[in-house]
Amino acid sequence: MQQPQQHHHHKPPKPSLSGSASWIRRSPPPSPPHRKPWGAGGRGRYACRAVPLLVLTVYSLFTVLRIPSSSLVVNTADSERVDRREDVEAFKTHLPSNQNSLEARQETRSPASLPCSAFISGEAGGGQAEEGVLCCDRSHYRSDVCYLRGDARTDPSTSSVLLYNAPRGAAPEKVRPYTRKFEESIMRSIDEVTIVPVDSTGNGTDKDTRDSLRRRCDVRHPAGVPAVVFSTGGYTGNVYHEFSDGLIPLFVTAERFGGEVVFVVLEYHYWWLGRYGAILERLTNYKIIDFRYDRRVHCFSEMIVGLRIHGELVVDPKLMPNGKSIKDFQALLHQGYSGKPSATSAAPLPLPLATPSRPCVRPDDHAKAAKPKMLIFIRKQNRVILNLPHVVTACRRAGFAPHVMNLRRQTPLPVIHAALASADAMVAVHGAAVTHFLFMRPGTVLLQIVPVGLDWAAESFYGKPAQQLGLEYLEYRVAPEESSLAAEYGLNSTVVQDPSVISSQGWWEMKKVYMDRQNVTVSVKRFGELLRAAKLHLKKNATACGKAAGVVR
C-alpha cells in the first residue's frame, strides 16, 4: 500500500508591526493653520486610528482561516499513536521528536485523481465497495489492463462483466487479456471481454428496484477476494510463451494477494491446469473459473482484467509493490515441482548459491571425485546439433559428466525440474527449451548455442534473464560456415553474411529462415574454450561455497 504523503501546515509569519505600531501610538500631527481639521469634533483623528486596526483585524481572520481545521484536531487515539511511533513520525516530518506534537494528516484523494496503474498494482490501497472504480491502463506496449471495484458480476453469455455501481459517466471498455498487444495477428485470436458500467443512480428508480434489476449472483465471492481475468490462448503450447506471456505476468499481477484471489480464465485448457497446477495452487487458494463454459454469474467486489508484464522472463523488483524478483518466482517453481507440500503460511525462499551435484564436502568424502553434471538439451526438427557425439565427447574431456535430454511435450515438468535442479551446467541451442534454465540454481552455468541470425533474440530472451537469476551465462555463436544455411544459400550470401536484411522484413520472415530451416555444426575447439571457462567458474563457485560453509579443503 502506498504510504500517504504527509502534509505540514505552518502558520505564516506574523507581519511586522514595528512601523505600524509607532504611528498607532502617536497622535496625528496638527493640521496646518490654513486648513480646517478633517471632520467635525476631531472625528478625523479617530478615523485615522480605526482604519489600520480594521486592516489588521481582517488580516488576522484571514490567517486563521488558512489553517485547515484537521491540523488542529488531535483525538485520544491520535495522541497514543504519536506516542507509540514518536521516532517514526519525527522521521516523516523531518522534525525532532519533541516538536512533533501534532500528527500529520493524510490528504484525502478521490479515486478519480489516482492513476489506474496505482489500483492495479495495489498502491492505491483498498476501498469500500460503494466507491465504484472503473479504469484501464493502456500505456504498456505489451498489455492492456482494466481495474474494477464495486459490484462486478460476470455474464458469460455475452463475454462481459457488469459493474453496477460504476462511477457516473463511465464508458464501456473492451480488453483482450493477453500480453502480446503489439502482435495484432495473435491478438485477434484472443477472446475479448467487454466491461459494461451500469449507472448507480438508476435514472430515478429506488434502491429496491435497482437491486431487483441486477443479475442474480449464483456465486458470491468473499469481499476482499478479487478476480484476475486472463487468457491462456495465443502462443500457449510453447513453453517459452507459457512462462513469459502467462505464468510470470500472472505472478507479477497476483502474487501480492497472498493466495486470496480467484483466477478467471479465457480459452481455458485442461492440460494447462494439469501441467502448471503445482504453480497455480501456490498463487490462489480457490478453484479456477472457466469463463467461457461456467455459465454461473460470479460476483466480486474487485476485479483485474488483464495481466501486468515487465518484459521477457522478467520480474522487476522496482515495479513490484513488495519488492519481489524473478528469484522469488523461481523459489515458487522449486517449491511446486520438488514435491514439497503447499505451505500457504510460509512464502518460498529463494534458492541459495550452490553447486547442487557437488555440495561442499570434506576432502575425504567420496563425493569429492564426482564430476560436475551437465545437461545437453537436443532438438530433432530444426536447429539440430549435427555433430552431437563430438560435442558430448568434448564435454566429457573437459571434466563434465554429460547427460543428453530429448524433451517432448509430454515430458513431466517435475522430471525436468529434478534433472536441472541437480545440474551444474546446461547446454542448449537457442529455442523454447532454454526456458527451463528457470529450474537451475544460482551460480550454475547456462551455455547457449546461438545460430546465425539469432544473436539479439538469444541475448534478450534468455541471456539477460539468466544473468538476473544469478546464472553464469556463456554464448557459443555459430560461425557462418558452421550453419547449414551456408550450404543452402551460399557462404557469401546476404542470408548468411547480413541477417539484418532478412530480419528487417519482419519476425515471421526471420523465423522462417533462421529458426525453421537452420541446423548447426559446432567447432569442438571453440566450444572447448567455453567449456573450460564454465569449469573454471564452477571451481570458483565451489570454493566460495566451501568458505561460506566454513569447510577447510
Tens-place pLDDT, residues 440-449: 999 999 999 9
Q: Range with the lowest mean pLDDT among 269-283, 299-313, 341-355, 367-381?
A: 341-355
User: Strand, coil or helix: what is 428?
Assistant: strand
Q: How many residues does the chain have?
A: 553
For residue 88, name the pLDDT band (cuts at 50, 70, 90): very low
- Give the tens place of pLDDT for each residue, 194-250: 999 987 665 444 555 455 567 899 999 999 999 999 999 999 999 999 999 999 999
DSSP-assigned letters across all residues of 136-202: EE--SSS--EEEEEEEEEEEGGGTEEEEEEEPTT---EEE---S-TT-HHHHTTSPPEEEEEEETTG
H helix or E strand, kind and range, residue 53:
helix 43-65
Q: 3-class DSSP state for residue 265?
A: strand
> What pTM was computed for the model?
0.74
What is the reported pLDDT for 102?
31
Q: What is the pLDDT of residue 541?
A: 78
User: In angstroms, what is the C-alpha Rg of the chain?
Assistant: 34
Q: Which residue carries 467461457 as its cell?
A: 292
Average pLDDT, the chain: 79
Q: How confident is the model at residue 321 (pLDDT cuts 50, 70, 90)?
A: confident
Q: Which is more confident, 56 or 153?
A: 153
Are 426 and 474 spatial neighbours (Cβ–Cβ below 8 Å)? Answer: no
Residue 474 has a pLDDT of: 98
Q: What pLDDT, on the 0 to 100 scale, is given for residue 83? A: 34
Model pLDDT, residue 410 = 86
Position 199 scores a pLDDT of: 73
Residue 444 in contact with residue 471, Cβ under 8 Å?
Answer: yes
Strands (E), 344-444: 373-377, 401-405, 425-429
Is the pLDDT at 361 greater than 60? The verdict is no
CB atoms within 10 A of CB 185: 8
112-128 burial, b at 16+ Cβ within 10 Å, e below that, comes to: eebebbbbbbbebeeee
Residue 270 CA to residue 474 CA, distance in Å, equals: 37
> What is the spatial distance between Cα 1 and Cα 126, in angstroms, rounded to a whole number?
9
Q: Give the pLDDT band (50/70/90) at residue 87.
A: very low
DSSP state of 98: G
Report how far residue 278's alpha carbon sits from residue 264's, in angstroms, rounded to the nearest whole number.
17
Q: How confident is the model at residue 9 (pLDDT cuts 50, 70, 90)?
A: very low
Question: Rounded to whole angstroms, how far apart are CA atoms 225 and 325?
Answer: 24
Q: Which domains does the chain have, with CATH numbers?
A: 116-201+212-320 (no CATH), 373-551 (3.40.50)
Looking only at the bridges linking them, the beta strands covering 472-477 and 445-450 are: parallel
Neighbours of 315 (CB within 10 A): 24
* CA nearest to 478, candidates 441, 451, 512, 457: 451
Distance of CA 300 to the CA centre of its chain: 23
- Residue 147's DSSP bridge partners are 135, 304
What is the enclosing helix (H) or strand (E) of 447? Answer: strand 445-450
pLDDT tens-digit series, residues 102-136? 333 333 455 667 899 999 998 887 655 456 899 99
Higher pLDDT, 6 or 398: 398
